[in-house]
Structure 1
Amino acid sequence: MQFFAPKLNDKLLKKRRKIYRTWLYNHTKVKQRRDKIKYRKKWTARMVVSHDKRDQVLQRIEDETRLKPGDPQMFKYYQGTVKKIVDPMPANKMEIAKETAEKWSNNFLPPEIQASVATKKGLKYIEHFTEEMWRQCGMRVFMVTVKGNQPD
Protein backbone atom coordinates (compact mmCIF):
# COMPACT_ATOMS: atom_id res chain seq x y z
CA MET A 1 0.00 0.00 0.00
CA GLN A 2 1.41 3.37 -1.04
CA PHE A 3 0.66 6.51 0.99
CA PHE A 4 2.65 9.06 -0.97
CA ALA A 5 2.36 10.24 -4.54
CA PRO A 6 5.09 9.04 -6.83
CA LYS A 7 8.10 11.32 -6.99
CA LEU A 8 8.28 13.51 -10.05
CA ASN A 9 11.51 14.47 -11.59
CA ASP A 10 12.38 18.16 -11.69
CA LYS A 11 11.41 18.60 -15.33
CA LEU A 12 7.87 17.26 -14.87
CA LEU A 13 7.44 19.19 -11.61
CA LYS A 14 8.40 22.50 -13.25
CA LYS A 15 6.09 21.77 -16.18
CA ARG A 16 3.17 21.02 -13.86
CA ARG A 17 3.84 24.16 -11.77
CA LYS A 18 3.84 26.25 -14.92
CA ILE A 19 0.52 24.74 -16.04
CA TYR A 20 -1.10 25.39 -12.65
CA ARG A 21 0.29 28.92 -12.43
CA THR A 22 -0.93 29.92 -15.89
CA TRP A 23 -4.35 28.42 -15.19
CA LEU A 24 -4.63 30.38 -11.93
CA TYR A 25 -3.51 33.63 -13.56
CA ASN A 26 -6.02 33.17 -16.38
CA HIS A 27 -8.96 32.28 -14.14
CA THR A 28 -8.80 34.88 -11.41
CA LYS A 29 -11.19 37.82 -11.21
CA VAL A 30 -9.96 40.98 -12.82
CA LYS A 31 -10.23 43.95 -10.49
CA GLN A 32 -12.01 46.91 -11.97
CA ARG A 33 -9.99 50.07 -12.21
CA ARG A 34 -11.08 52.72 -9.77
CA ASP A 35 -10.39 56.40 -9.96
CA LYS A 36 -7.59 57.54 -7.69
CA ILE A 37 -9.61 60.62 -6.88
CA LYS A 38 -13.04 60.95 -5.36
CA TYR A 39 -14.73 63.92 -6.90
CA ARG A 40 -17.54 64.09 -4.36
CA LYS A 41 -17.44 64.06 -0.60
CA LYS A 42 -20.17 62.96 1.76
CA TRP A 43 -20.31 65.51 4.55
CA THR A 44 -21.20 64.56 8.12
CA ALA A 45 -22.45 66.73 10.95
CA ARG A 46 -19.07 66.42 12.67
CA MET A 47 -17.27 67.65 9.55
CA VAL A 48 -19.62 70.64 9.29
CA VAL A 49 -19.05 71.57 12.94
CA SER A 50 -15.27 71.16 12.66
CA HIS A 51 -15.32 73.35 9.55
CA ASP A 52 -17.44 76.05 11.20
CA LYS A 53 -15.42 76.04 14.42
CA ARG A 54 -12.00 75.55 12.84
CA ASP A 55 -10.57 78.74 14.34
CA GLN A 56 -11.83 77.76 17.79
CA VAL A 57 -10.26 74.28 17.46
CA LEU A 58 -6.90 75.69 16.38
CA GLN A 59 -6.94 78.29 19.15
CA ARG A 60 -7.74 75.63 21.76
CA ILE A 61 -4.89 73.42 20.53
CA GLU A 62 -2.52 76.37 20.68
CA ASP A 63 -3.64 77.25 24.22
CA GLU A 64 -3.34 73.68 25.53
CA THR A 65 -0.18 72.51 23.75
CA ARG A 66 1.61 75.71 22.65
CA LEU A 67 1.78 74.30 19.09
CA LYS A 68 1.16 76.66 16.19
CA PRO A 69 -1.39 75.80 13.46
CA GLY A 70 0.29 73.87 10.65
CA ASP A 71 2.92 72.30 12.91
CA PRO A 72 3.15 68.56 12.08
CA GLN A 73 2.87 67.60 15.77
CA MET A 74 -0.36 69.60 16.08
CA PHE A 75 -2.33 67.09 14.01
CA LYS A 76 -2.22 64.38 16.67
CA TYR A 77 -4.27 66.67 18.94
CA TYR A 78 -6.72 67.82 16.26
CA GLN A 79 -9.30 64.99 16.39
CA GLY A 80 -9.37 64.93 20.19
CA THR A 81 -9.94 68.67 20.33
CA VAL A 82 -12.73 68.45 17.74
CA LYS A 83 -14.33 65.74 19.88
CA LYS A 84 -14.14 67.99 22.95
CA ILE A 85 -15.98 70.71 21.03
CA VAL A 86 -18.56 68.51 19.26
CA ASP A 87 -19.60 66.25 22.17
CA PRO A 88 -21.01 68.93 24.52
CA MET A 89 -23.00 70.61 21.70
CA PRO A 90 -26.77 70.77 22.24
CA ALA A 91 -28.98 68.41 20.22
CA ASN A 92 -30.68 71.20 18.28
CA LYS A 93 -27.33 72.53 17.00
CA MET A 94 -26.28 69.02 16.00
CA GLU A 95 -29.58 68.64 14.14
CA ILE A 96 -28.86 71.87 12.25
CA ALA A 97 -25.37 70.57 11.46
CA LYS A 98 -26.86 67.29 10.14
CA GLU A 99 -29.23 69.21 7.87
CA THR A 100 -26.36 71.36 6.63
CA ALA A 101 -24.25 68.25 5.99
CA GLU A 102 -27.06 66.66 3.99
CA LYS A 103 -27.53 69.87 2.01
CA TRP A 104 -23.80 70.15 1.28
CA SER A 105 -23.57 66.47 0.28
CA ASN A 106 -26.54 66.57 -2.09
CA ASN A 107 -26.21 70.09 -3.49
CA PHE A 108 -23.38 72.51 -4.09
CA LEU A 109 -21.00 73.65 -1.39
CA PRO A 110 -20.83 77.30 -0.35
CA PRO A 111 -18.47 79.36 -2.57
CA GLU A 112 -15.77 79.80 0.11
CA ILE A 113 -15.50 76.01 0.60
CA GLN A 114 -15.49 75.49 -3.18
CA ALA A 115 -12.61 77.96 -3.44
CA SER A 116 -10.59 76.23 -0.71
CA VAL A 117 -11.13 72.80 -2.33
CA ALA A 118 -10.12 74.23 -5.72
CA THR A 119 -6.87 75.63 -4.32
CA LYS A 120 -6.04 72.42 -2.43
CA LYS A 121 -7.03 69.78 -4.98
CA GLY A 122 -7.43 71.54 -8.33
CA LEU A 123 -3.98 70.66 -9.64
CA LYS A 124 -4.42 67.01 -8.67
CA TYR A 125 -7.78 66.90 -10.51
CA ILE A 126 -6.21 68.40 -13.63
CA GLU A 127 -3.32 65.90 -13.58
CA HIS A 128 -5.73 62.99 -13.14
CA PHE A 129 -7.91 64.25 -16.01
CA THR A 130 -4.94 64.56 -18.36
CA GLU A 131 -3.68 61.06 -17.45
CA GLU A 132 -7.11 59.54 -18.08
CA MET A 133 -7.50 61.36 -21.41
CA TRP A 134 -4.14 59.99 -22.50
CA ARG A 135 -4.85 56.47 -21.24
CA GLN A 136 -8.38 56.15 -22.63
CA CYS A 137 -8.31 58.33 -25.76
CA GLY A 138 -4.66 58.80 -26.59
CA MET A 139 -5.14 62.57 -26.41
CA ARG A 140 -2.65 65.07 -25.12
CA VAL A 141 -4.26 67.77 -23.00
CA PHE A 142 -2.64 71.14 -22.41
CA MET A 143 -4.01 73.34 -19.62
CA VAL A 144 -2.92 76.69 -18.32
CA THR A 145 -3.69 77.54 -14.72
CA VAL A 146 -3.54 81.01 -13.27
CA LYS A 147 -3.44 81.74 -9.59
CA GLY A 148 -4.53 85.27 -8.85
CA ASN A 149 -3.87 87.38 -5.80
CA GLN A 150 -6.06 86.23 -2.97
CA PRO A 151 -7.04 88.48 -0.09
CA ASP A 152 -5.48 87.31 3.16
Structure 2
Amino acid sequence: MLSKKTQYAFKALMYLAQRHNEGPVLIAEIAKKKKIPLKFLENILLELKKGGVLESKKGKGGGYFFAVAPNTVYLAKIMRLMEGPIALLPCVSLNFYQRCKNCDEKFCGLNKVMGDVRDASLSILETRTVADIAALSL
Protein backbone atom coordinates (compact mmCIF):
# COMPACT_ATOMS: atom_id res chain seq x y z
CA MET A 1 0.00 0.00 0.00
CA LEU A 2 1.31 3.45 -0.86
CA SER A 3 1.94 5.76 2.07
CA LYS A 4 0.27 9.17 2.24
CA LYS A 5 3.69 10.65 1.61
CA THR A 6 4.02 8.86 -1.73
CA GLN A 7 0.43 9.58 -2.71
CA TYR A 8 0.99 13.28 -2.00
CA ALA A 9 4.26 13.22 -3.95
CA PHE A 10 2.46 11.81 -6.98
CA LYS A 11 -0.38 14.34 -6.65
CA ALA A 12 2.08 17.24 -6.45
CA LEU A 13 4.12 15.95 -9.38
CA MET A 14 1.00 15.49 -11.52
CA TYR A 15 0.00 19.07 -10.75
CA LEU A 16 3.47 20.36 -11.64
CA ALA A 17 3.54 18.25 -14.82
CA GLN A 18 0.24 19.74 -15.97
CA ARG A 19 1.78 23.22 -15.52
CA HIS A 20 5.23 22.28 -16.76
CA ASN A 21 5.50 25.13 -19.28
CA GLU A 22 4.08 27.80 -16.98
CA GLY A 23 7.16 28.32 -14.80
CA PRO A 24 7.67 27.75 -11.07
CA VAL A 25 4.62 26.93 -8.93
CA LEU A 26 4.28 28.06 -5.31
CA ILE A 27 4.09 25.38 -2.64
CA ALA A 28 0.98 27.03 -1.21
CA GLU A 29 -0.81 26.73 -4.56
CA ILE A 30 -0.02 23.03 -4.85
CA ALA A 31 -1.06 22.41 -1.24
CA LYS A 32 -4.36 24.22 -1.70
CA LYS A 33 -5.27 22.73 -5.09
CA LYS A 34 -4.32 19.18 -4.12
CA LYS A 35 -5.43 19.38 -0.47
CA ILE A 36 -2.02 18.45 0.92
CA PRO A 37 -0.88 19.75 4.34
CA LEU A 38 1.64 22.51 3.64
CA LYS A 39 4.39 21.41 6.05
CA PHE A 40 4.16 17.82 4.82
CA LEU A 41 4.35 19.00 1.21
CA GLU A 42 7.41 21.14 1.93
CA ASN A 43 9.32 18.07 3.14
CA ILE A 44 8.16 15.96 0.18
CA LEU A 45 9.22 18.57 -2.36
CA LEU A 46 12.61 18.96 -0.66
CA GLU A 47 13.17 15.19 -0.98
CA LEU A 48 12.19 15.32 -4.64
CA LYS A 49 14.64 18.19 -5.11
CA LYS A 50 17.43 16.24 -3.41
CA GLY A 51 16.56 13.30 -5.67
CA GLY A 52 17.10 15.44 -8.77
CA VAL A 53 13.46 15.47 -9.86
CA LEU A 54 12.62 19.07 -8.96
CA GLU A 55 14.33 22.44 -8.75
CA SER A 56 13.23 25.54 -6.91
CA LYS A 57 13.54 29.26 -7.38
CA LYS A 58 13.38 31.73 -4.51
CA GLY A 59 11.84 35.17 -4.49
CA LYS A 60 9.30 36.81 -6.75
CA GLY A 61 8.16 34.38 -9.43
CA GLY A 62 9.64 31.53 -7.41
CA GLY A 63 8.41 28.09 -6.58
CA TYR A 64 9.04 24.51 -7.67
CA PHE A 65 9.47 23.16 -11.18
CA PHE A 66 10.85 20.03 -12.84
CA ALA A 67 14.63 19.68 -13.06
CA VAL A 68 14.09 17.29 -15.98
CA ALA A 69 11.18 16.71 -18.35
CA PRO A 70 8.22 14.97 -16.63
CA ASN A 71 8.19 12.36 -19.41
CA THR A 72 11.63 11.18 -18.22
CA VAL A 73 10.67 10.75 -14.55
CA TYR A 74 9.64 7.12 -14.06
CA LEU A 75 7.21 6.16 -11.30
CA ALA A 76 9.72 3.64 -9.92
CA LYS A 77 12.16 6.47 -9.17
CA ILE A 78 9.54 8.42 -7.22
CA MET A 79 8.50 5.35 -5.27
CA ARG A 80 12.10 4.59 -4.35
CA LEU A 81 12.71 8.19 -3.28
CA MET A 82 9.60 8.24 -1.10
CA GLU A 83 9.26 4.64 0.09
CA GLY A 84 12.62 2.98 -0.38
CA PRO A 85 12.39 -0.56 -1.78
CA ILE A 86 9.61 -1.49 -4.17
CA ALA A 87 9.97 -5.19 -3.40
CA LEU A 88 7.79 -6.57 -0.62
CA LEU A 89 10.66 -8.58 0.89
CA PRO A 90 14.22 -7.34 1.43
CA CYS A 91 15.63 -10.56 -0.06
CA VAL A 92 14.12 -9.80 -3.50
CA SER A 93 14.91 -6.09 -3.63
CA LEU A 94 17.11 -5.02 -6.53
CA ASN A 95 18.38 -1.80 -4.93
CA PHE A 96 17.96 -2.45 -1.19
CA TYR A 97 18.78 -6.18 -0.94
CA GLN A 98 19.15 -7.73 2.51
CA ARG A 99 19.31 -11.42 3.26
CA CYS A 100 16.39 -12.65 5.39
CA LYS A 101 17.33 -14.21 8.73
CA ASN A 102 16.98 -17.98 9.04
CA CYS A 103 16.08 -18.43 5.38
CA ASP A 104 17.73 -20.21 2.49
CA GLU A 105 16.69 -18.25 -0.60
CA LYS A 106 17.43 -21.20 -2.89
CA PHE A 107 14.61 -23.19 -1.28
CA CYS A 108 12.18 -20.42 -0.32
CA GLY A 109 8.94 -20.45 -2.29
CA LEU A 110 7.93 -17.09 -0.88
CA ASN A 111 11.14 -15.56 -2.21
CA LYS A 112 10.39 -16.81 -5.72
CA VAL A 113 6.78 -15.56 -5.70
CA MET A 114 7.74 -12.16 -4.28
CA GLY A 115 10.43 -11.89 -6.96
CA ASP A 116 7.71 -12.39 -9.57
CA VAL A 117 5.54 -9.74 -7.86
CA ARG A 118 8.49 -7.32 -7.88
CA ASP A 119 9.15 -7.98 -11.58
CA ALA A 120 5.48 -7.49 -12.50
CA SER A 121 5.34 -4.21 -10.56
CA LEU A 122 8.57 -2.96 -12.07
CA SER A 123 7.43 -3.79 -15.59
CA ILE A 124 4.82 -1.06 -15.09
CA LEU A 125 6.60 1.36 -12.75
CA GLU A 126 9.77 1.49 -14.88
CA THR A 127 7.87 2.23 -18.10
CA ARG A 128 5.29 4.78 -16.91
CA THR A 129 6.23 8.36 -16.16
CA VAL A 130 4.88 11.31 -14.20
CA ALA A 131 3.75 12.77 -17.55
CA ASP A 132 1.73 9.62 -18.21
CA ILE A 133 -0.21 9.83 -14.94
CA ALA A 134 -0.64 13.59 -15.29
CA ALA A 135 -2.25 13.07 -18.70
CA LEU A 136 -4.59 10.44 -17.24
CA SER A 137 -5.78 12.82 -14.51
CA LEU A 138 -6.99 15.60 -16.82
Structure with greater strand percent: 2
**TM-score with structure 1 length normalisation?**
0.28
**TM-score with structure 2 length normalisation?**
0.29
Greater Cα radius of gyration, structure 1 or 2? 1
